[in-house]
Amino acid sequence: MRTEVRIVASVAALPEIHASGGLSARRTGPYTVHLIGTAATPLGGDELDITIVVGPGARLAVRSVAATIALPSAATPASLAHWHFQVDSGGDLDFDPEPTIVAGGAQHHTITTVLLAPDARLRLRERVQIGRSGEDNGGWRGDMIADLGEIPLLRHRLELGSDTPADDPLAAPRALESELRYPDDRPVETAGLTEARLPLAAGGTLLTRTSALLAVR
């Protein structure tokens, strides 16, 4: 199944939503939209294409009503999600959905592209858990390409779970939290073995935290 969602926020109107396939969205406040699953997706072979645009001077917070569960299908274990974020001059986007759970036997690939105006604001948080209770053999890969106008801000790839280059069935993490913030003037904390918040050369920070299980917030 192919799913397409487009959300556009502007100063003059409530967020505009267009959706088809297994995912939709609802306005839950003047500046808030919740993503809602309308069918079981992503299954193996599914492709999701989600675009979120915040126009000049607009604000938008994006949440979800439940976790996303990536499942294998009889034909293929792999699913793919493309996320496109654009925040124009003076815009402010806070993106913080519930986690993605990659079920046993599933493989999920996320490709995220971000285009920011130099005076835009962004908080983009992603959380991934490999396996439901008793499962640990799923796999996830996330690619992020972020630009600040014409200036590259971030090129980043993370892999988690089975069949990844750093996988270790005995000790490798099965949960990940990642957060891109721009701008971010907070002092950078000392990096640890499982958590680091690093400054980016063009501004902003990238937080990466790994663990066996996602923390309940």
Residues 39-58: pLDDT tens digits?
Answer: 989 999 999 999 999 999 99
pLDDT in the model for residue 185: 87
**Which are the contacts of 175, defined by CB distance < 8 A and separation ≥ 6?**
127, 128, 129, 130, 160, 210, 211, 212, 213, 214
Average pLDDT over residues 196-213: 92
pLDDT averaged over every residue in the chain: 92
pLDDT in tens, 60-90: 999 999 999 999 998 898 999 999 999 999 9
With pLDDT > 90 as the criterion, what percentage of the chain qualifies?
Answer: 77
pLDDT in the model for residue 15: 96
The answer, yes or no, to whether residue 21 has pLDDT greater than 70, is yes
The answer, yes or no, to whether residue 189 has pLDDT greater than 80, is no
The answer, yes or no, to whether residue 136 has pLDDT greater than 90, is no
- How far apart (Å, rounded) are the C-alpha atoms in residues 40 and 83? 18
